[in-house]
Structure 1
Amino acid sequence: MNETRPHDTPTGLAEAAEMALRVRAHYEQLEQRLLGRTWTLPELAVGFTNDAAYVGRLVLAAERTWDIDGDVDAELRHKLAECLWWAFVLADKLGVDLPEAYEATMDRIDTGLRKTLRGTHGDGQ
């Protein structure tokens, strides 16, 4: 499922975060017009958990244990992307540098797993 990407597609987390916040700014303008305010942090968190829960249903649909209308693969791609968007939005609202946090977390987990695997196999790899 490797597709070629247009040159303007963000490839790094920092660029993806910038794009996510631009989209969020548009939603905030719409919310201001329709609601007279923007969503609160708890409302944003509920939006994220709602989409994340739907990813679970889409995984079941992909495994053919849950029926949905429409293209499961397209919906799964869409909802996974939205969940990533929500993570960037929530991180921004909470003052978390998500690209930095992701890199630090993955480095820490990778180091720990490598150490565990070396101890499990006893072969130094």
Structure 2
Amino acid sequence: MDQSNWDRIIERSLKIRESYHELERRHHGSEWTLEEDALAYLTDAGLVGRNIMSHQKRWLKKDSEAELKHKLGENIWWLIVLADRTGINIKEAVEEFLTKTENVLK
């Protein structure tokens, strides 16, 4: 993925998160904490596992492919949000991970 696509995905992700923050302030009087965001991500990560099981016909669920696709996208979105909230550049983190892992596997 080229840098401009990454930048646009990150920009859109953070804009969506800000919209959710507005809903949280309106309904609960405050934004979710970093810990609440992390818990929401972990919940969605667990749902990826359940949807993979459904995709493999090991867990019965209607329209599992659409839900799996949605949850995979949502998990990437959460990772972008969590990186931003912790001051980590997600593009650099992914690049460093890939380079380190490629070097280990050489």
Give the alignment's TM-score, normalised by structure 2.
0.92
User: Residues 64, 90 of structure 1: CA spacing in aligned structure 2 closer, same or farther, 3 A cutoff?
Assistant: same
Q: How does 1:79-118 map to 2 (within 5 A)?
A: 79-114=71-106
Identity of aligned residues (%): 37
SS at match of 2:7: helix
Distance 2:83 2:4 in 1: 19
* Dislocated runs of 4+, deviation >2 Å: 10-15
Q: Distance in 2 between matches of 1:91 and 1:14?
A: 14
Q: How big is the alpha-carbon RMSD for the aligned residues of Structure 1 and Structure 2?
A: 1.4
Cα distance in 1, alignment partners of residues 12 and 96 from structure 2? 22
Instruction: Give how far 1:11 is off.
Output: 6.9
Match of 1:22 among 5, 15, 25: 15
Q: Which runs of 5+ in 2 are unaligned?
A: none
1:59 aligns with 2:62: no
Aligned residues: 104
Mapped pair 1:75 → 2:71: no
User: CA separation of 1:11/1:50 partners in 2, compared to 1, >3 Å: closer, same or farther?
Assistant: farther
- TM-score under structure 1 length normalisation: 0.79
Distance in 2 (alpha carbons) for counterparts of 1:16 and 1:111: 27
Pairwise CA distance, 1:14: 2.6
Instruction: Tell me how far apart the structure 1 counterparts of residues 5 and 94 of structure 2 sit (CA, whole Å).
Output: 12
Q: C-alpha deviations, 1:44-82, integer Å up to 9, x for none?
A: 0110000000000000000001012x3111100100000
- The amino acid of 2:75's aligned partner reads C
Mapped partners of 1:42, 1:83: distance in 2: 16
What amino acid does structure 2 have at the position aligned with 1:42?
E
Give the structure with the higher percent helix.
Answer: 2
